[in-house]
Amino acid sequence: MKHIYFDNAATTQIRDEVIDKITEVMKNNYGNASSSHSFGRSSKALIEKSRKTIAGYLNVSAGEIVFTSGGTEADNLVLQSAVRDLKVTHIITSKIEHHAVLHTIEQLKNEYNLEVSYVNIDKKGLIDYYHLEELLDTKTYTLVSLMHINNEIGNILDIKKVADLCKANNALFHSDTVQSVGHYKLDLQDVQVDFLAAAAHKFHGPKGVGFVFIRKNSGLKPLILGGEQERGFRAGTESVHNIVGIETAIKIAYDNLEKESEYVKSLKAYFIEKLKLKIPTAKFNGFSGNMEKGTYTMVNVCLPVSPEKSGMLLFQLDLKGIACSKGSACQSGSNQNSHVLAKILNDEELQKPSIRFSFSIYNTRQEIDYVIDVLKALI
């Protein structure tokens, strides 16, 4: 049986070079980075080198990068501290954000009597920037939390436009960039975002490590207490090998971005072309079928399948060796429909299966041919 992996938005295959580097560090740099002896200093030096490397690619200072366990922790750190410590009383977000943001905001709303506003979106999942500007016209201390690239339908936010709107209205801006870091260049001197979250496993790095960008003098405070690691933002012994792993992964990703992104773009374009040819009644959700307004790494397709057959489609694809997703991996074990698709599809469309296929440098056109043929046969 073939084994074809088209679920790269959930997680990616770790590059061999990253595995080699992680293994080397685990063997040779096992000292606690908080220890003052040579073993500890060696580990500390690797962490600070990694921090400096990542900061360089984002055009920020090394002190503004704080390593976390991933994107979810990074989002929680920003949102919870903003309300608890920065006295934010109003959060503006959308109803198609990742649950790491939506669930955290809901908890904060209940705990702090927070005012929460949801910016309007259209039937393609596009943010209404005029409505956002209206919501920003307030005297309250506001934080905006909008993701750069939607993890289910791939829509790309005009992150600079939002940052400029926030700056003009004295609001803070947090963006979950888990689907964009490592795939798109971000100059944070040009894009004046205040807080940003990223995760290594989305760009061929290890799971269990990510980072949060915290703009200097923000006043943010830690959630995890017990030590002075990560400039006091995150207590706990640092995972040195994982931190070096994220550095290695981001370095390879950005140093090869032009060549690798062009290849993945060609795969997406080929998938769209073949799907339209073989299954012309299939519909692309959001802007996932668009090469400019949607990320080049994924498509989300509503397939012409009857309701009674739709529940078994993912299972049938899995039996054929095809890995994909009905939405985010975080909810794949749930029987609930995608909260993102629920906001942009009508009742008839929601009865049909929508599948997310996401691509990487390890995929091929031959794999796409196989997937499209299997889909056509099942439909």
At residue 336, the pLDDT reads 63
- pLDDT mean across residues, the chain: 95
pLDDT tens-digit readout, 123-173: 999 999 999 999 998 778 999 999 999 999 999 999 999 999 999 999 999
Contacts 24+ apart (CB under 8 A), 265-270: 265/291, 265/296, 267/359, 267/363, 267/364, 267/365, 267/368, 268/296, 268/297, 268/298, 268/299, 268/359, 270/365, 270/368
Are 247 and 270 in a shared domain? no
Q: What's the pLDDT tens digit per position in 21-71? A: 999 999 999 999 999 999 999 999 999 999 999 999 999 999 999 999 999
Domain end among 235, 255, 275: 255
- Using the 3D structure, point to which of 200, 232, 255 is the last residue of a domain: 255
- Residues 359, 272, single domain; the answer is yes
CA 226 to chain centre: 28
The model carries a pTM of 0.95
| pLDDT tens column, 79-102 | 999 999 999 999 999 999 999 999
Both 240 and 282 in one domain: the answer is: no
The two beta strands, 65-68 and 210-214, are: antiparallel
- Host domain of residue 77: 16-255
Q: What is the dihedral of CA 240, 242, 248, 251, to 10 degrees?
A: -100
Q: Do 201 and 270 fall within a single domain?
A: no
Same domain, 92 and 182: yes
Interatomic CA distance for residues 22 and 40, integer angstroms: 17
Half-sphere exposure of 243 (CA within 13 A, CB side): 25
Query: 141 with 270, same domain?
Result: no
Asked if 273 and 281 touch (Cβ cutoff 8 Å), the reply is no
361: left (phi over 0), alpha (psi -120 to 50) or beta: alpha
pLDDT in tens, 278-332: 999 999 999 999 999 999 999 999 999 987 788 889 999 999 999 999 854 454 4
What span, in angstroms and rounded, lies between the C-alpha atoms of 23 and 245? 9
231: left (phi over 0), alpha (psi -120 to 50) or beta: left
Looking at the structure, do residues 56 and 191 belong to the same domain, yes or no?
yes
Rounded Cα distance between 365 and 379, Å, is: 21
Q: What whole-number distance in Å separates Cα of residue 194 and Cα of residue 86?
A: 13
Maximum Cα–Cα distance across the chain: 66
Where on the phi/psi map is residue 209: left (φ > 0), alpha (ψ -120 to 50), or beta?
A: beta
80 and 191 fall within a common domain: yes
Q: What CATH number is given to the structural domain containing 333?
A: 3.90.1150.10
State residue 333's pLDDT score.
Answer: 46
364 in the same domain as 289 = yes
Q: What pLDDT is attached to residue 138?
A: 79
- Please give the structure tokens belonging to residue 236: 């706990």
Positive/negative CA dihedral, 108, 215, 93, 124: negative
> Final residue of a domain: which of 234, 255, 276?
255
DSSP state letters, 259-297:
HHHHHHHHHHHHHHHHHHHH-TT-EE-TTTT-TTTB-TT
Give the rounded distance of the alpha carbon of 231 from its chain centre. Answer: 25
- For the question of residue 330 being annotated catalytic, the response is yes
Which candidate in 166, 302, 324, 330 is catalytic?
330
CATH code of the domain containing 57: 3.40.640.10
Give yes or no: residues 50 and 121 share one domain: yes
What pLDDT is stored for residue 327 in this prediction?
A: 59
Same-domain status, 72 and 174: yes
Over residues 203-254, the pLDDT tens digits come to 999 999 999 999 999 999 999 999 999 989 999 999 999 999 999 999 999 9
Crossing angle of helices 16-28 and 240-255, rounded to 10°:
150
Q: How many domains does the chain have?
A: 2
Same domain, 269 and 219: no
Write out the two tokens for 22.
């992680």
Which tens digit of pLDDT belongs to each residue from 329-374?
454 444 467 999 999 999 999 989 999 999 999 999 999 999 999 9
Token output for 322? 């095809």
Structure tokens at 225: 């207490």
Burial 110-138 (b: 16+ CB within 10 A, else e): eeeebeebbbebeebbbbeeeebeebbeb
